C-alpha cells in the first residue's frame, strides 16, 4: 500500500509540475520553518541553516552545526576557545555574522566572509541557496502540493473500502472480461487489493467503486 501511495504521489506531483510552466511567479514568501543541512559530516560536524518566514519576510536565521549525537557546535566551549586562539574567530561569532547578513538582506545580495571562517563561509552560501530554494519551491508549488496531498488522502481512504467476499462480479456489467476473471479468481477484500491485481485497470477500479456506491448496501 505504501508503495502504491508513494508512486501515485510521485505521478501526481510530476503532472502538476509540468503545468507550472504556464503560471506566473509569486514573490511573497510563504510562512513557515525551512531547513537545509549538509549531506555529510565535516571534521565531525554537519552544518545546517534554519530560517523562519513570518508575514512574508524572513524573521530569524539559525546557522549552526551538530555532531552525530546531536550535540550543537556552539555548545562546545572548549572547541570555541581552541578555534579562537588558532583562527581568530569562533562558531558563536561567525555563525551569527553570516546568519545576520542573510536576515538583513532577506536572501538578496552577497554574503561577505569573516577572516578565519572561510570554509564555513562557503558552506553557508551553499546552505543559504538551498534553504531559499525550498522557500521558492513552496511559493510556486504550494497550491498544487496541497491539492495532490488531498488526492492521495482520498486514495488512501479508497484503498480501505471493503469488497464483500460474496460479491458476484458477473453483475458488474461494465467490467472488462480480463478484470472480471482476475477478480473472481483472487477475490480481493478491499479496493486497495483489487487495484494491485494484474489485469485490473484504473478504469475497472472506477467501475467497482461506482457499483459499490450504488449497490453496496444490498450486497451480502
DSSP 31-70: PEEEEEE-SS-BTTBEEEEEEEEETTEEEEEEEEEE-TT-
Compute the distance between CA of residue 52 and CA of residue 199 in angstroms, rounded to an integer.
49
Give 23-52 pLDDT, tens digit per residue: 444 457 888 899 999 989 988 999 999 999
Give the per-residue pLDDT at 27.
Answer: 56
The pLDDT value recorded for residue 9 is 41
What pLDDT score does 6 carry?
Answer: 47
The residue count for the chain: 220
138 vs 106: CA distance, rounded Å: 16
| Residue 160 pLDDT grade (very low, low, confident, very high; cuts 50, 70, 90) | confident
Residue 111 near residue 98, CB atoms below 8 Å: yes
- In the predicted model, is pLDDT for residue 8 greater than 80? no
Specify the range with the lowest mean pLDDT, choosing from 19-23, 100-104, 112-116, 172-176: 19-23
> What letter does residue 21 receive in the DSSP assignment?
G
Question: What does the pLDDT read at residue 102?
Answer: 94
Interval 190-200: pLDDT, tens: 998 999 999 99
**What gap in Å lies between CA 102 and CA 1, rounded to an integer?**
43
- Given this model, what pLDDT does residue 12 score? 44
Q: What pLDDT band is residue 217 in, cutting at 50, 70 and 90?
A: low
Assign 139 a pLDDT band (cuts: 50, 70, 90).
confident
What is the average pLDDT value for the chain, to the nearest integer? 83
| Segment 51-65 mean pLDDT | 93
Q: What is the pLDDT of residue 47?
A: 94
How much of the chain, in percent, has pLDDT values that exceed 70?
85
pLDDT, mean of residues 52-61: 92
Q: Is the pLDDT assigned to residue 19 strictly greater than 50?
A: no
pLDDT at res. 93: 93
| Averaged pLDDT, 109-127 | 91
- The band of 134, judged by pLDDT with boundaries at 50, 70 and 90, is confident
Amino acid at each position: 500500500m505504501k508503495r502504491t501511495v508513494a508512486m501515485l504521489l510521485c505521478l501526481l506531483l510530476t503532472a502538476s509540475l509540468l503545468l507550472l510552466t504556464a503560471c506566473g511567479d509569486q514573490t511573497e514568501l510563504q510562512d513557515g520553518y525551512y531547513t537545509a543541512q549538509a549531506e555529510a559530516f565535516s571534521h565531525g560536524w554537519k552544518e545546517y541553516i534554519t530560517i523562519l518566514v513570518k508575514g512574508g519576510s524572513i524573521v530569524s536565521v539559525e546557522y549552526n552545526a551538530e555532531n552525530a549525537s546531536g550535540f550543537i557546535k556552539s555548545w562546545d566551549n572548549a572547541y570555541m576557545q581552541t578555534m579562537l586562539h588558532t583562527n581568530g574567530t569562533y562558531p558563536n561569532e561567525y555563525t551569527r555574522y553570516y546568519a545576520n547578513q542573510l536576515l538583513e538582506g532577506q536572501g538578496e545580495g552577497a554574503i561577505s566572509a569573516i577572516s578565519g571562517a572561510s570554509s564555513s563561509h562557503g558552506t553557508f552560501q551553499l546552505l543559504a541557496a538551498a534553504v531559499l530554494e525550498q522557500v521558492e519551491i513552496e511559493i510556486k508549488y504550494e497550491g498544487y502540493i496541497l491539492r495532490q496531498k488531498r488526492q492521495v488522502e482520498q486514495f488512501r481512504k479508497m484503498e480501505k473500502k471493503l469488497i464483500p467476499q460474496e460479491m458476484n462480479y458477473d453483475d458488474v456489467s461494465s467490467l472488462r472480461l480480463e478484470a472480471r476473471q482476475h477478480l473472481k479468481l483472487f477475490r480481493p477484500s478491499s479496493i486497495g487489493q483489487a487495484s494491485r491485481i494484474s489485469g485490473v485497470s484504473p478504469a475497472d477500479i472506477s467501475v467497482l467503486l461506482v457499483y459499490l456506491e450504488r449497490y453496496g448496501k444490498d450486497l451480502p
